[in-house]
Structure formats: C-alpha cells, structure tokens
C-alpha cells in the first residue's frame, strides 16, 4: 500500500510577465520500505515536486491542481499548523547541501536535541539517549563526543549523516533525499547510500530519492520516475528501467552515462526548455531524433509498455 501518492499535481509561478506553469499532471507513489527515484536533468521539476509535498514553496508558487495523499490524507487540504506537525516528524527532508544546512553557531548535538524536543516532545536524558541512538544508526563514531562538536568540525559526509540522524530521530515515515550525495567523493557516496538502504530495510521507511545520477538509481532504487520539463515521461521498476528503457529521453539519459570501457560519451543535443518557453505537443520533441508530426501537436498520454512500466511517447502506439 502506498504511504505517499502524488496525483496530477499542477504548479506554476506568478512571474513579472504573467503566470508560468512548471509542473504538469505529475503523478507517482511510494510504498513503505521502498526507494522511489525521481530523475532528470537540472531544472526539470524534481525538487519543486518534492517541496510541494512538504508545502515549502516560494511565495510566488501556486498549486493549481492535484492531490498529495499521505496515509490517505490530502496534504494540500491541511492548515499551516497541521502541515507543520507532519513536516519533520512524519515526512523529513534531507536537503541538497549538507554544508549549509547546519547552524555554525551551535553544536551538532544542540541542533539534533532541538529537533527531538520539538517533534518527539521529550527532554533530558531520554532526548539525549535518542540522539545517541540516531548517531549510532548513521554510523557516526564516538557519538557522545561528536554531539559536542560544531559543524565546522565535521566533514561533508559526516554533516550529511548528522542531517539523516535528525530525520531518523523523529521516526519519519518518509525521507525525501534531495541529491544526498552531491559534492561527496565516491567512497562517501556509497556509505551514505548504504545508510539509506539500511534505514529503508530495517525501519520500513519510504524514501524519495531525487537525483540526476542514474548509476545510483540502478544500484539502489526500487522504482523510478523520469521527469522532463515538468512532466513525468516514464514510470517503471528500477531494474526494468535500466535494462529496457522506453522513452527516447530515458534512452538518451542512459546513453550519456560514461562507460568503463570507452572514452566516447553520447550527449543529448540541445538544452532543456525553461518555463518561459512555450512548446506545443511533447516538450522533448525539439531534442528527439524520433520526432513525428503528431509529437509537435499533441501531448502523449501514458502507455503501459510492461509490468508496472508506463511511458508517455507516441512511438508506443
């Protein structure tokens, strides 16, 4: 059963030159104990989709349609106070940049204890014990000593672990991991992903992984949604997606991964469109080598192309 379900989410921004739509009928779901990857190039709408779940949007952002169900409750119907009670405790965010996510003026322990006190309503020795357990779970050594350290005394990987610990300390049912391995070296990336996988397995936590790294998807995700210009163009089980991608954009993304046995790197011609551009039909058609006349006129619907595998492309007709 899905713990989170996003249905036909439409969102845009009030700009100086009028309203510009950024998300179009975005739909995906996540089950408990599963990792769902949301992938695509920078600017495709991954992060703004995730921030819509938490209702952490810019002031000029407007949700114009859709539903976001968490345990059968539509988050878009909740008051500010109600969403604040869920944000951080039931649905936690692991932000994109661990370097700037911790306050440099307070110890890491003080910041972790503050989160526990606010969301768990516990104090004193009980809160301290909870903090130690969270540090142990994310494999931060010498937890008692490290709680007294300031952020500048932590490496990038250690800061990321501390942020994950803050999410775990609140027993969140869903973790939204926004590019959790950005700016980390390959060894630390693997350690962070191992921690997330242990959390998923041991605590039955649902994880939304936002990434442009398809290697991470193939090695860690259970399901994947591919975004392009604010639309989901392919939904699939991760293994099936890696082995048999369907949408031309998915093919192009996978071919752009550097292979170990060749120096040749295939690229996607052109650039992703901005929300200021108006493109009729399939938004990928200006960059697609399989483009047909219908692609320039109409927006393709999702076609079922395999077991739990859907793709929005007219080639499937």
- Pairing between strand 2-15 and 18-31? antiparallel
pLDDT of residue 125: 86
What whole-number distance in Å separates Cα of residue 154 and Cα of residue 162?
9
Cα separations in angstroms, 39 against 18, 47, 92, 194, 307: 28, 10, 19, 19, 20
H-helix or E-strand spanning residue 162:
helix 156-169
In the predicted model, what is the mean pLDDT of the chain? 90
pLDDT band at 262 (very low <50, low <70, confident <90, very high): low
Mean pLDDT across the stretch 231-247?
95
Question: Could you give the angle at the alpha carbon of 28 between the alpha carbons of 307 and 294, nearest 5°?
Answer: 75
Mean pLDDT of 200-219: 91
Indicate the range of 187-201, 205-219, 261-275 predicted with least confidence: 261-275
Residue 303 has pLDDT above 90, yes or no: yes
Could you tell me where the DSSP H helices lie in 11-146? 46-54, 80-86, 108-120, 124-137, 143-146
> Which residues does 47 contact at the CB level (< 8 Å), separation at least 6?
96, 178, 210
- pLDDT, one tens digit per residue, over 149-206 is 999 999 888 888 898 898 888 888 999 999 888 777 888 888 889 999 999 999 999 9
CA angle 180, 69, 237 (to 5 degrees): 55
d(CA 241, CA 150): 42
Condensed to tens digits (0 to 9), the pLDDT of residues 248-260 reads 999 999 988 876 5
Q: Which domains does the chain have, with CATH numbers?
A: 2-316 (3.40.50.300)
Our measurement of the distance from residue 235's CA atom to the centroid of its chain's CA atoms, rounded to an integer in Å, reads 15
Taking the model in full, what pTM does it have?
A: 0.92
| 273 has pLDDT over 70 | yes
CA nearest 243: which of 232, 251, 235, 231?
A: 251
The percent of residues in the chain predicted with pLDDT above 70, rounded, is 97
Identify the CA nearest to 111 among candidates 169, 176, 157, 155: 169
């Amino acid at each position: 059963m899905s713990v989170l379900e996003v249905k036909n989410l439409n969102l845009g921004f009030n700009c100086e030159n009028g309203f510009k739509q950024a998300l179009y009928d975005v739909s995906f779901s996540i089950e408990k104990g599963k990792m769902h990857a949301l992938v695509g190039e920078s600017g495709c709408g991954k992060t703004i989709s995730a921030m819509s779940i938490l209702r952490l949007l810019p002031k000029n952002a407007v949700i114009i349609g859709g539903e976001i169900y968490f345990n059968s409750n539509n988050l878009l119907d909740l008051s500010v106070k109600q969403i604040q009670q869920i944000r951080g405790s039931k649905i936690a965010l692991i932000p994109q940049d661990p370097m700037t996510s911790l306050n440099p003026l307070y110890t890491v322990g003080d910041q972790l204890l503050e989160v526990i006190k606010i969301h768990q309503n516990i104090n004193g020795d009980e809160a301290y014990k909870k903090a130690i357990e969270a540090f142990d779970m994310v494999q931060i050594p010498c937890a008692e000593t490290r709680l007294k350290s300031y952020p500048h005394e932590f490496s990038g990987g250690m800061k990321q672990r501390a942020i994950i610990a803050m999410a775990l300390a609140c027993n969140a049912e869903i973790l939204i991991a926004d590019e959790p391995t950005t700016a980390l070296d390959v060894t630390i990336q693997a350690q962070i992903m191992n921690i997330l996988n242990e959390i998923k397995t041991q605590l039955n936590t649902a994880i939304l992984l936002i990434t442009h790294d398809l290697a991470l998807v193939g090695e860690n995700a259970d399901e994947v949604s591919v975004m392009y210009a604010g639309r989901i163009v392919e939904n699939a089980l991760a293994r099936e997606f890696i082995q048999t991608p369907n949408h031309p954009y998915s093919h192009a993304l996978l071919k752009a991964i550097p292979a170990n046995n060749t120096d040749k790197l295939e690229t996607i011609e052109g650039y992703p469109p901005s929300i200021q551009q108006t493109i009729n039909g399939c938004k990928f058609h200006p960059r697609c080598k399989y483009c047909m006349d219908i692609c320039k006129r109409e927006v393709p619907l999702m076609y079922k192309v395999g077991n739990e595998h859907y793709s929005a492309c007219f080639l499937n007709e």
